[in-house]
């Protein structure tokens, strides 16, 4: 009898300067997540310290930094982007709160967290928590239109299907509107 193993990976792509980054999630609760990048000549390079840890969730570029959110360990790994490629800088612990996606606006990070049902507001320069915005469910994707922040709640706190998008004021950290959308 033959046995087959399926490996599920989520690939995220982020474009920065002349580099393109690819993040491979790896297997859940395994330390085999990996980071890769392509340079302007389309040469592929392995990221520093591959594999980089457990359950890589997402990544975000801000100035010359690449922030990689590690869901399994609750770390944000920070890399420096230069003309020579990518170099690991350090990690910032977010206390294993089920981090998902990070949005950066003017050195302030907005991090969606499943285990706390909130959006954590971070001062990325001081690496401290500034505020926590209760989400009323498991916040997932996070984007901005330049004026407001929008966060999807595709699962409720009890893990049932969610159906809302929150509109948040990035200055006051207040939810200013909630939109009802299709489930999940």
Write out the E strands in 63-137.
65-70, 75-82, 85-93, 99-105, 108-113, 118-123, 128-134
**For position 15, what pLDDT does the model report?**
45
Which tens digit of pLDDT belongs to each residue from 45-54? 999 989 988 8
Q: What is the pLDDT of residue 174?
A: 97
138 forms beta bridges with 155
pTM of the model: 0.85
CA distance linking residue 125 with residue 61, whole number of Å: 14
> What's the whole-number mean pLDDT along residues 27-54?
88
Predicted pLDDT at 80: 95
Q: Residue 39: which pLDDT band, with cuts at 50, 70 and 90?
A: confident
Position 14 scores a pLDDT of 52
Which pLDDT score is estimated for 5?
A: 38
Indicate whether 76 pLDDT > 90: yes
Provide mean pLDDT across the span 99-104. 96
């Amino acid at each position: 009898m033959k046995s087959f193993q399926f490996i599920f990976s989520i690939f995220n792509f982020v474009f920065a300067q002349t580099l393109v980054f690819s993040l491979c999630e790896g297997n859940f609760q395994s330390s085999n997540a990996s980071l890769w990048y392509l340079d302007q000549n389309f040469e592929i390079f392995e990221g520093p310290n591959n594999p980089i840890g457990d359950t890589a969730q997402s990544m975000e570029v801000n100035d010359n930094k690449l922030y990689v959110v590690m869901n399994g360990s609750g770390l944000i790994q920070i890399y420096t982007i230069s003309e020579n490629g990518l170099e690991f800088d350090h990690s910032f612990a977010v206390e294993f709160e089920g981090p998902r996606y990070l949005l950066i606006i003017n050195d302030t990070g907005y991090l969606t967290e499943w285990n706390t049902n909130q959006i954590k507001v971070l001062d990325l320069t001081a690496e401290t928590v500034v505020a926590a915005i209760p989400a009323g469910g498991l916040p997932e994707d996070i984007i901005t239109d330049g004026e407001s922040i929008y966060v999807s709640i595709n699962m409720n706190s009890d893990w049932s299907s969610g159906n809302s998008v929150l509109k948040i004021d990035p200055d006051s950290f207040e939810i200013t509107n909630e939109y009802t959308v299709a489930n999940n």
